[in-house]
Copies of this chain bind each other. A is one copy, B any other.
Amino acid sequence: MSTEVNDVLAKAVADHPDRFAGFAVLPTLDAAAAADELERTVKELGLKGALINGHTRGRFLDDQAFWPIFERAEALEVPIYLHPTPPPPQVREAYYSGLPGMVGNVLALAGWGWHCETGLHALRLVLGGVFDRFPRLQVVIGHMGENIPFSLARADQVLTPFASLQRGIADYFQENFYVTTSGYFTFPPLLCAMMVLGVDRIIFSVDYPFSDNVEGRAFLDAAPIAPADREKIAHGNVEKLLRM
């Protein structure tokens, strides 16, 4: 199924090469097959990396069973986009039940849960040693960094002494991660991300259908930042990352 989807995606890109580029979908349940599909889609189809939707049946990607995917991504010099997915059932029950109507469901996803869980997932990758093993691997996370920029100094201070890693926690986020704006279209979190990660690590994106694309464009246009930084966020950083 991944192969079929990626072929369709590659066709859409080929039909509109001035409009689109693509990230592959990977069959993460079989990490060796996922690594091979990543290589096929990059080398044969010209895709630019892969997008993985969070945990795989409750297992996060710091589990070494998944590391063949990271090994191949590093070798191919393509990033992995770590996207949210619905939380594991036991988290949904513990954290998001008991609220009226649809509210608990939205809270578990775009309202809060997605962002905390994906920030957690990113921290788990660091703490599990993924970037010590694959130091050139680049991971992209959305939603202005999934709360990481806000809490990175705290995590760095509290976690670094307990982690047997080659670098401090914050270093990994400043050297192995990019963040996209996706749906976070106000200046305070952008400024926070710029101050913590640096403008070279921020990539514009929308978050359709969770946000309005026109609003996203207007946000970037109006952000009180230097023209050179606006260009980096709008296209320069991603062109460099994806070698476009």
Contacts and interface: CB of A to CB of B under 8 A. Distances in A.
Interface stretch (A12-20, A45-53, A180-188): A180-188
A222 interface: no
A99 B112 contact: no
Interface residues of A, number: 61
Q: Which of A107, A128, A154, A184 has the most CB of B within 10 A?
A: A154
A159 B106 contact: yes
Contacts of A186: 153
Contact of A107 (B93, B129, B159): B159
B116 A99 contact: no
A100 B132 CA distance: 14
A187 B91 CA distance: 32
A26 interface: no
A163 interface: yes
B112 A123 contact: yes
Contact of A91 (B94, B100, B101, B164): B94
A150 interface: yes
A71 to B, nearest CB: 20
A191 interface: yes
A155 B186 CA distance: 12
A143 B154 contact: yes
Interface in A174-231: 183-189, 191-192, 195-196, 210-211
